[in-house]
Chain A
Amino acid sequence: MEVIDNMSFGWLLTIVGGTMTMCSLGVLILVVTILKKFQN
């Protein structure tokens, strides 16, 4: 079983989690903007 120390785990989660969250929100903004263009 692989071992990862606590701080590396924290930074990994912060970098990957933070990036994925912001990217997902970015994609959502894009999709909503496209949706709004077609709303009428």
Chain B
Amino acid sequence: MNEIMQVITSNDFLYNVFGGFTHFGWQAAVMLIIGGVLIYLGVAKDYEPLLLVPIGFGCILANLPLTELIHVPREGYVFNDSIRELLAASGLLPLAEGARVVNEGILDVLYNAGIANELFPCLLFIGIGAMTDFGPLLQNPRILLLGGAGQFGIFLTLILALAIGYEKLEAICIAIIGACDGPTSIFITSMFNPALLGPISVAAYSYMSLVPIIQPPVMKLCTSKKEREMIMSYEMLQPVTQRTKLLFPIVVTIVTLLIAPSGGALMGTLMFGNFLRECGAVGRLVQAAENEIASITTLFLGLTVGSTMNGDVFLTAKTLGIFALGFIAICGDTAFGVFGAKLMNLFSKVKINPLIGAAGISAFPMSARVVHKVGNEANPQSYLLMHAMGVNTGGQIGSVLTASVMIAVIGALQTMGVDLTIN
């Protein structure tokens, strides 16, 4: 009995038995609050609930001490699954200083299965492709250029991030928030700097849900009242046949992947999803891509991304910078889109309302609706929705294309032996 009492009352025993409390620090407390806020925003305010709820819960799970649910993407962990003997036999033990052998947590499994190899964003892209109707874009293909103009906020943010001292690969991950496209942001970040997955994906999805609040003031700032009141004729939209819609994803895949082959995963899956939709022969696959696959992937993606939001990585000045630059990126996209439309008007006989340029981002269909609303407020006779939808789908292609081109350029630099490593 004495022995038992001695064990129970020893400090070491109590410290480890109540490890949840004894290892609980201020960083964990702040992260639990952040996780709670994300869940609140999703549930009570309806801001991207499908993503913010799993992200918030994942954040809470990962920051409760000693749960050992996730160790990646931080360095210094080696998984235990029977490899200790293998390591010993290979003469690799003892491990490098600071490394420790751990059991793989369930979120490690999900991370390695779908984030580390960029699978989850690609599965989501199949669903996005299956949900997207490129008809309005095909009716007036020249507005595809506005989907490109809207991406210049990405480059503006890249320059700003580098100017204030972010490393090269960090700056790319931050800039891509301007694509206003969650899966693309996650894809690029997991490829170039997985440690920033948490802050970047939260910033991307938060700003996507705030598009109706962020875009209108920028649009009004960049246009005169007369420009906003302009009515766009629907005669410029020429009808397209189903055959054209069917051929479009194939043509886009071939053309864009010949130009930027390294973007194959992004553009290939987006256009594959759209081809499934337009071919009309695989209704069950379209249903699955839109619903079951997209839902399961969203669930796993959100939970895993949330669980990368570890306090020691998230609670830094870098995170604040990421949020500030992400905001600039989306404002920049909007402004570049509007000015791109004004530029097009200089060279075109058929004028367009510059507001529709603001829809050249990937937040579909929210951005198109915002453009329509602002135009309609300026002139109740104006009905911009279908034009803006076309630009918005162009923005989806533009953002994926920009990401693909960036991957291609970085790949070329790496092949040339240019040092891009993060210090």
Contact = CB atoms under 8 A, between A and B. Distances in A.
B155 A17 contact: yes
A36 B247 CA distance: 10
Interface centre among A13, A21, A23, A28 (most CB of B within 10 A): A21
Given A17-B402, A24-B405, A9 B168 contact: yes
A24 B122 CA distance: 21
A7 B162 contact: yes
Interface stretch (B12-20, B80-88, B143-151, B280-288): B143-151
Given A3-B419, A10-B158, A26 B406 contact: no
Nearest to B137: A32
A9 B255 CA distance: 26
Interface in A4-40: 4, 6-7, 9-14, 16-18, 20-29, 31-33, 35-36, 39-40
Contacts of B260: 20, 24
Contacts of B251: 28, 31-32, 35
B330 to A, nearest CB: 18
Q: Give the contact-size bracket for chain A.
A: 20 to 34
Interface in B325-353: none
Given A1-B419, A2-B418, A10 B162 contact: yes
A33 B145 CA distance: 14
Contact of A16 (B163, B172, B409, B418): B409
A39 B241 CA distance: 6
Contact of A28 (B167, B238, B255): B255
Contact of B171 (A4, A10, A22, A40): A10
A25 B420 CA distance: 28
B169 to A, nearest CB: 10
Contact of B252 (A3, A14, A22, A28): A28
A7 to B, nearest CB: 6
Contacts of A1: 417-419
B259 A32 contact: no
Given A28-B256, A35-B248, A17 B138 contact: no
A24 B404 CA distance: 11
B406 A13 contact: yes
Contacts of A23: 259
B73 interface: no
B401 A24 contact: yes
10 contacts: A2-B419, A6-B162, A20-B409, A21-B401, A25-B397, A28-B251, A29-B141, A31-B255, A36-B141, A40-B241
- 6 closest residue pairs by CB, A with B: A14-B155, A10-B162, A32-B141, A6-B162, A25-B148, A20-B405
Interface of B: 138, 141-142, 144-145, 147-148, 151-152, 155, 158-159, 162-163, 167-168, 171-172, 238, 240-241, 243-244, 247-248, 251-252, 255-256, 259-260, 394, 397-398, 401-402, 405-406, 408-410, 413, 416-420
Given A20-B408, A29-B141, A32-B138, 7 more contacts: A2-B418, A9-B168, A10-B163, A25-B147, A28-B255, A29-B145, A32-B141
